[in-house]
Structure 1
Amino acid sequence: MYIDIHTHAFHPKIAHKAVDHLNSFYSLTCSGDGTIANLLEREKEARLEKCVVLCAATAPAQVIPANSYAISLQREHPDQVIAFGTVHPGYENWEGELARLKAAGIRGIKLHPDFQSFWLDDPRLLPIFEAAQNDFVFEIHIGDRTTPDKNPSCPYKLASILRQFPGIRVIAAHFGGYRMWNHALEVFAGNHFENLWFDTSSTTPFATPELAHKLLNAFPRERILFGTDWPLYDPVEELARLQALGGLSDSEMEVIMSNASALLALNNEQGKSQHDH
């Protein structure tokens, strides 16, 4: 099954505002309008069967509405959408939210330290990782600022978490470090963490063919997941760009497109196994 592991869709009432914010923050023009209808239309055009829609609460007060929206998206589009919910270290009843997400069949949690205004090494996150690691895959935004010590999310902070929680399953967004790919290569290449995956989102618009080859060859091919970061970038264009830049054969592309299916199936089985015991 071909899956886009990294997309965003917003409630119709705020989609326009959210897209305007992304355009301003990243100095670009988003490819999509931010609505679920437009997202599913573009995924169909790219012949992708499912997409993971990531919801993140930018403040503690938004945790419940963000998760309610994630649950509703998955419920309304069960054949096309896998929704990831969110937590925030400033939200006190995170245990209740984890239970609500699990009961609703949500398989993953999105963290975006930069937009959520916390640092990835915030000690308040540690009990959340401990409690959530058996039931959820974490998709974590990594990168943005080129200097690690001024960056809320960087490869070094993620590596520390992976060492503390060897069983936690993490997808490091943007090949492990948006605009920090040299640091991602330094930390993760040849030092393979057992439960770490990388998505391809928001990389090919900036990567040279040389960098694309380095990234694709630095990590085990079965740990690379196709992601677009829609509405920033379009699935059809991202597929073409990844294939061209990476010089990937059709069979190699097929592996990358299919890896998410295996990860999410594995997660589901592990969650069931833990629950049964």
Structure 2
Amino acid sequence: MVDCHAHVFPPKIAPKLAAAIGREFGTRPAGDGSAEDLLKHLDRAGLSHALCFTAALRPDQLIPANSWMLSLRRAHSRLIPLGTVHPGHPSWEAELDRLERNGIRGLKIHPDLCGIALDSPRWNPVWEAAQGRFLMMIHMGPIKKAGATLSRPRDLALILKRFPGLAVIAAHLGGLYLWEETLAHLAGLDLYMDTSCCPGVVPEPAFAAILKRHDPERILFGSDYPLFAPDEQQAALGRLLARIGMPCEKVFRNGASLARRLQTDGFPDLAPPPGH
């Protein structure tokens, strides 16, 4: 079994970032955000691997973030890192080449935190470049003041229509607190959705309706570590699935096949090309 949604940070800043995430959500984080602590949580939950990531919220963060993910892949075989991309960086296309050359096949983007709406045309070259090459993990939602968010399910549905070769995981069941919109626009489409932040939050009728319309093999377990502990989220999701009459194995087994697609061998070079 695989945790398909975990954040891991460089050692010097991991505790600080984990604490900041906890403050944002009004809760004490379950972990310190380090790779070593995540591995302990995976063992406690009986999980073999985790998809893990960070995101470039500014252009200048792009290369350091990807270098950290590459070093993580080299150091920990149980962690499957995703790179990131920021359309404001002048060499983002070369960064995709570097990631691909070093065996990373996924990208994480966070429209709300980088301040570029999901439906912005600035992302179009990224979608075009990622088709057939990278799995995109896209943070979706949440609703903020006055119902605003920069990453809505309806916008993702339009992107998938325009870029049919794009492989996507829509985090937080398509959009945190936007599950009616997920049901209307994303359920049934050719994409994955993960369950991070959903157990104990998503209304059971909404969850049942989405799973009735969406292929259950395209639903992925994700804990959102370090905010939550994988074992606790695993148990909570199992209870939620049982209450709506969905066998747990229909969801919990899906991450393993996805992980096999993303896990490749070899580390030809970890540095950006000269002048990059």
Compute the TM-score of the two structures, normalised by the length of structure 2. Answer: 0.89
Structure 1 residue 16: Cα displacement: 1.6
CA distance in 1, matches of 2:85, 2:146: 23
248 and 51 in structure 1: CA distance in 2 versus 1, 3 angstrom threshold: farther
Structure 1 residue 249: Cα displacement: 9.9
Structure 1 residue 87: Cα displacement: 0.3
CA distance in 1, matches of 2:12, 2:209: 41
- Contact 1:146 / 1:179 at 8 angstroms: preserved in 2? no
CA distance in 2, matches of 1:267, 1:76: 16
Q: Which amino acid aligns with 2:39?
A: L
Alignment partner, residue 237 of structure 1: 232
146 and 159 in structure 1: CA distance in 2 versus 1, 3 angstrom threshold: farther
Which one of the candidate residues 248, 253, 258 is aligned to 1:258? 253
Structure 1 residue 217: Cα displacement: 2.5
- Give the alignment of 1:46-195 within 5 angstroms: 46-78=45-77, 80-145=78-143, 150-189=148-187, 192-194=188-190
Q: Could you tell which deviates more after superposition, 170-179 or 205-214?
A: 205-214
89 and 188 in structure 1: CA distance in 2 versus 1, 3 angstrom threshold: same
- Give the unaligned 5+ runs of structure 1: 270-277
2:223 counterpart of 1:228: yes
Q: Could you tell which deviates more after superposition, 239-248 or 210-219?
A: 210-219
Alignment partner, residue 274 of structure 2: none
CA distance in 1, matches of 2:145, 2:181: 9
CA distance in 1, matches of 2:201, 2:223: 13
Compute the TM-score of the two structures, normalised by the length of structure 1. Answer: 0.89
What secondary structure is seen at the aligned counterpart in 2 of 1:138? strand
CA distance in 2, matches of 1:148, 1:157: 18
Structure 1 residue 103: Cα displacement: 0.7
Alignment partner, residue 6 of structure 1: 5
- Give the unaligned 5+ runs of structure 2: 265-276
Q: Could you tell which deviates more after superposition, 209-218 or 68-77?
A: 209-218
Alignment partner, residue 213 of structure 1: 208
The share of aligned pairs that are identical, in percent, is 39
What secondary structure is seen at the aligned counterpart in 2 of 1:115? helix
What secondary structure is seen at the aligned counterpart in 1 of 2:19? helix
CA distance in 1, matches of 2:13, 2:197: 23
Structure 1 residue 267: Cα displacement: 6.0
CA distance in 1, matches of 2:25, 2:127: 29
CA distance in 1, matches of 2:246, 2:181: 29
Structure 1 residue 251: Cα displacement: 8.9
- Give the alignment of 1:33-44 within 5 angstroms: 33-44=32-43
What secondary structure is seen at the aligned counterpart in 2 of 1:206? coil
- Contact 2:103 / 2:263 at 8 angstroms: preserved in 1? no
Q: Deviations over 1:73-119 (max 9, x none)?
A: 111112x0100000011111111000000011001000111122211
Number of residue pairs matched?
264
- Contact 2:60 / 2:89 at 8 angstroms: preserved in 1? yes
Structure 1 residue 135: Cα displacement: 1.2
- Contact 2:31 / 2:226 at 8 angstroms: preserved in 1? yes
- Contact 2:241 / 2:248 at 8 angstroms: preserved in 1? no
- Contact 1:177 / 1:184 at 8 angstroms: preserved in 2? yes
Cα-Cα RMSD: 2.1
More helix by share: 1
CA distance in 1, matches of 2:38, 2:73: 14
Q: Which amino acid aligns with 2:239?
A: A
- Contact 2:31 / 2:228 at 8 angstroms: preserved in 1? yes
What secondary structure is seen at the aligned counterpart in 2 of 1:156? helix
